[in-house]
Structure 1
């Protein structure tokens, strides 16, 4: 019995094109003998467009953007989502599993997850709480602090407060963090809108840049450290991959290095000691449980020269592009890309089945 899999991709987000690349990679890896694949494209304006079931290879991202098709209401995912456009076909209850291949706001932040919960549909990845807390770097870091995880110093600002007193904001950064520091939109990923600052002039430009993408920004202390990442799979229990290290050729691992020119070196497995690896996996599992994560997570760390680890963040929907770390980590752990997707679908079904045990009456 094949699994009827709905793929959500695109999205009303600055990471729309990253999502398109992720969708292409997943579609190419899926076994058509095991899955009935139904692409559902979300435009940059937020319209949902269901394409025809895939029956063969897709060679171009543009084939996935059904801009000429009629948009659908998301609620049909749980109803007659497999009917043809003319209404013919069998109404057999919709999809077995939804795979949200969405990055950033309006997809990775709990919004789509909440909709899928209301529709009572199994879906791959993290739930509402983990997605929303993991998307907001300020909330995430506050939870990590409560869990006793070591982090670099940070502070944060709301756009309206900054606009009222810009000089006070810059002074706060200089007093509490100093230079260098990193300015980031609080609710965005893929290194969009991130700047490294070594002076007040750069700090001012960085605030302007980051506030274009979010109403809240976070500023983090810059430290000299290695960037080490670990992949996690699981629901209630976290299974960790080997560690990988990112060695940027530029000043830091920005959007272009991640998705366009591959201008970075990925070392897998990372050259760290067993003691360092064990400490990182322990911290990764703690972060996973603190946010109540499920399905998949990539945990990112800083590791100083003297071996002190700091958790940077977790990514609740790491990309599956050719330059992505998450699938490479699991490949080196012994889980090839197609099998990784199958495991994620299986985890989604298991979590959904477990949720059905919850009583809603008394």
Structure 2
């Protein structure tokens, strides 16, 4: 046990920003204003704390809010040797994830996970795709549509079907069965809904018909590849990972999708998918851990659809499913992340904030 190490676990206080998170109109005018991705994280914190007692005797939890001065005061008061960073947003604003991570090096404290630059680059899906393309990594063709931008059939150059996503959100917020559209009329309807509901830029990309894979990376190694199976999903629904499928246990998508690890792939496909994931990890300058989401086309070509530098690593997450398949239990996986941050402490140069 690392008794001498003081560990601070930072996480975001749950908050709601949108009336609707699921990416589709609610029946009967109902309002669902809770981001279940955040509240589920909150429920995990005490499990994480108890899991880490196997390795650390001094552990504190800290909920991070928008008051920067209070955050700094609380972190300094805790005086940790290392921070386990679970902050995914602040008050529901995803872009603040990167800003907050910038405090840790200013305070001279090593922390788990990716640097602010990587967190920010990966949040903007279009910027991620440009970086991937610059490294000759395949990603679906796309365009970004701004809230006030007029889109006509003539100006729209992508091939249908396409899928719509919020440009700078994670946790599948805004993604539903309505996200995959097959003609311009359906696209216009979905764009109008997303603009009105979320008031932010929208990514539209060509939909890759194929298998949904994700590759969890821990340290500098890819864990066993996982697949999201849609076999139990009604045949009329698009085979995609939706907000409901991730977070709403009573939904059709949640019940109809299942994570499978290891994925059943040929050796050739496994090699291509794993290499693509590792190339993406390096291209985005990731460190410690990340998850690379890939659609494997029917022709066998892997297309990267997202690089998540701060993925869900809770005890029921796909990331831990891959870690468990590789032989790690939950406390060991968390301890590995913390060890990577502590090892980096002797390499990084920190500047103490004044």
TM-score range, shorter chain: 0.7 to 0.9
Give the SS at the match of 2:132. Answer: helix
Distance across 1 between alignment mates of 2:271 and 2:210: 18
Q: Which residue of 2 aligns with 1:317?
A: 310
Seen in structure 2, the aligned counterparts of structure 1 residues 158 and 107 have a Cα distance that, compared at 3 Å, is: closer
The 5 Å alignment of 1:228-307 reads 228-234=213-219, 238-248=220-230, 249=233, 250-251=237-238, 252-261=240-249, 262-263=254-255, 264-307=257-300
Q: 1:4 aligns with which of 6, 16, 30?
A: 6
Deviations 1:125-175 (A, max 9, x none): 100111111111011000000000011111112224x1xx2x33x6433xx
For structure 1, which runs of at least 5 residues remain unmatched after alignment? 49-71, 83-93
Seen in structure 2, the aligned counterparts of structure 1 residues 47 and 283 have a Cα distance that, compared at 3 Å, is: same
Deviations 1:59-115 (A, max 9, x none): xxxxxxxxxxxxx71212452x23xxxxxxxxxxx1122222133544674111112
Distance across 2 between alignment mates of 1:23 and 1:232: 24
Q: Which residue of 2 aligns with 1:56?
A: none
Q: Is the 8 A contact 1:134 1:291 kept in 2?
A: yes
Deviations 1:233-287 (A, max 9, x none): 12xxx20001110123252211111122232111111010112111112111111
Q: 2:189 aligns with which of 186, 205, 212?
A: 205
Q: Which residue of 1 aligns with 2:64?
A: 42
Relative to the length of structure 1, the TM-score reads 0.78
Structure with the greater relative contact order (CA < 8 A, sep ≥ 6): 1 or 2?
2
Superposed CA RMSD in Å reads 2.4
Distance across 2 between alignment mates of 1:17 and 1:40: 20
Report the Cα offset of residue 229 of structure 1.
0.8
Distance across 1 between alignment mates of 2:59 and 2:338: 13
Q: Is the 8 A contact 2:95 2:123 kept in 1?
A: no
Seen in structure 2, the aligned counterparts of structure 1 residues 156 and 128 have a Cα distance that, compared at 3 Å, is: same
Give the SS at the match of 1:354. Answer: coil
Report the Cα offset of residue 182 of structure 1.
0.9
1:180 and 2:180 are equivalent in the alignment: no
Question: Between Structure 1 and Structure 2, how many residues are aligned?
Answer: 311
1:189 and 2:170 are equivalent in the alignment: yes
Seen in structure 2, the aligned counterparts of structure 1 residues 107 and 17 have a Cα distance that, compared at 3 Å, is: farther
1:28 and 2:47 are equivalent in the alignment: yes
Report the Cα offset of residue 124 of structure 1.
1.1
Give the SS at the match of 1:172. Answer: coil
For structure 2, which runs of at least 5 residues remain unmatched after alignment? 22-34
Distance across 2 between alignment mates of 1:156 and 1:193: 15
Q: Is the 8 A contact 1:126 1:293 kept in 2?
A: yes
Report the Cα offset of residue 8 of structure 1.
2.2
Give the SS at the match of 1:156. Answer: strand
Deviations 1:301-327 (A, max 9, x none): 111223111111111111134552111
Relative to the length of structure 2, the TM-score reads 0.80
